Amino acid sequence: MSAQEKFIFISGGSRGIGRAITLSQAVPGVTLFVNYLRDEETALSAKKEAEEKGARVYLLAGNVGDPDAVRSLFETVRRKTKRLDALVHNAALGVFKPVSELRVKDWDISLDVNAKALLTLSQAALPLMKTAGGRIVAVSSLGSRRYTPNYGAIGISKAALENLVRYLAVELAPHQIRVNAVSGGLVDTDSLDKFPEIGRMKNEFLSRTPGGRLGAPEDLAKVVSFLLGPDSGWIYGQTLIADGGYSLS
């Protein structure tokens, strides 16, 4: 894809990793559709920073875990463009508690936002991508493949997300649409503060990580940029792990 006249939709694009992804794609000639849930002040701040870098930005409030909301979001996108070059699904939601204590509501929220949303977003984006092809990238986490305390609802939903990436990759390849994911280790964002025993988790992560530090949102954004770019043209249906080497031990 050329850096000129690109149209990119980013779910959960105003905070943390999503914000870093938004800013990494904010260059002249790019139009960004930045979805957020409810924090308008943070979204406006991300919009301002991205526009200062030369991008055109449209903020789209809505819960991507709700199929009706996704349809409404893409009605707005279609009024602005007849083409979409890339879809990044970063939005995530869930509770931090043991699986044995999960309510059905907790389970449903995580699956809806973290996994089902990739399906409904991809289906909504497909008519805008079919003509010229495009890229779809989902953001996952290591909890999809290995046990993490108090992370069951989110980890299980991320496992579903990664499997959906593989199915979409095969089915959308004839339309010249490449689908992949990126998975991070412990990334230093505001959401970490909500995690039980986060101090202990950070210390354990650092002691086992060859990279010697926590991840930064920009670390994941750089991998997303690679998957959106031309140099990843032979990669289909993969989840690239960027965790400083934590998963090696």
Please list the active-site residues: 151, 158
Half-sphere exposure of 113 (CA within 13 A, CB side): 21
Give every CB contact of residue 113 below 8 A, 6+ residues apart in sequence. Answer: 63, 64, 65, 91, 92, 93, 94, 157
List the beta strands (DSSP E) in 99-230: 134-141, 177-184
Structure tokens that stand for 58 in this block: 């449209």
Cβ-based burial of 139 (10 A; exposed 0-12, middle 13-18, buried ≥19)? buried
CB-CB neighbours of 227 under 10 Å? 22
The answer for residues whose C-beta is within 8 angstroms of residue 64's C-beta and 6 or more apart is 11, 12, 35, 70, 73, 89, 91, 113, 117, 120, 121
The residues near 231 (Cβ < 8 Å, ≥ 6 apart) are none
The H or E element that residue 228 is part of is: helix 217-228
